[in-house]
Amino acid sequence: MDWAGFIVAFIAFFVTHSVPVRPPVRPYLVQKLGAAGFGAAYSLLSLGVLTWLIVAARNAPFVPLWDWSSWQVHLALTLMLIACLLAAMAIARPNPFSFGGARNDTFDPQKPGVIRLTRHPLLLALAVWSVAHVLTNGDLAHVILFGTFAAFSLLGGRLVDRRRKREIGAKWHRLWRDVQTQPLRRAIAFGELWRLVAGIALYLLLLLGHGPVIGISPLQSL
């Protein structure tokens, strides 16, 4: 085992997550593949490179940074539940403030859902997921990997804010003021309780599938 494979995978990850989405590359690909085709191809590419990077981190030299303790697993499991709920509350919903929003023209600031808590719920879910995996691994390769994901997620929100403010203009500030005036209880609308159920189902699926897919079951450490 050496660091070369991990470094190459890391470079590939950042190249594939930066080049395809920048002008003029993205407009060209969207023209050739269509918006749906580009989205599907980019998602598959991202998933493939992410899998490669995680495998490369597992195969890198093991350099422990701190001792393992059972409390780390319990905290990580709690954080993963929060990440799954955030993701379920955010996916495929209008969100003019962040990336990947669906039907943004239908966004109603009077019914903001999870956006009442954060403009970037998917990025926050990724950050929470990353911190959970930093806690439970504790070796150099995985701390670099998941620590970078966490930093990217937290800093990415600021970059998205700048871009969306530029694209939307004064309407961005108006929408966000309207969202902030809503009571916190509207972060979970009654008609969206199914999203909470979906988040719990996702959590259980990841929990049970972690062992067969990744090779390590978090339940074995309890």
pTM: 0.85
What is the per-residue pLDDT across 59-103, written as a single tens digit (0 to 9) for each?
999 999 988 888 898 999 999 999 999 999 988 888 999 876 667
What confidence tens digit (pLDDT) does each residue in 120-147 have?
999 999 999 999 999 988 899 999 999 9
For residues 158 and 118, the answer to whether their CB atoms sit within 8 Å is no
Percent of the chain, pLDDT > 90?
A: 43
Are residues 156 and 99 in contact, defined by beta-carbon separation less than 8 angstroms?
A: no
For 143-171, write each residue's pLDDT tens digit. Answer: 999 999 999 888 888 988 998 898 888 89
Residue 172 has pLDDT above 90, yes or no: yes
Which residues partner with 139 through β-bridges?
64
**Count of C-beta atoms within a 10 Å radius of residue 154:** 15
| Closest to 92 measured CA to CA, from 117, 62, 114, 118 | 114
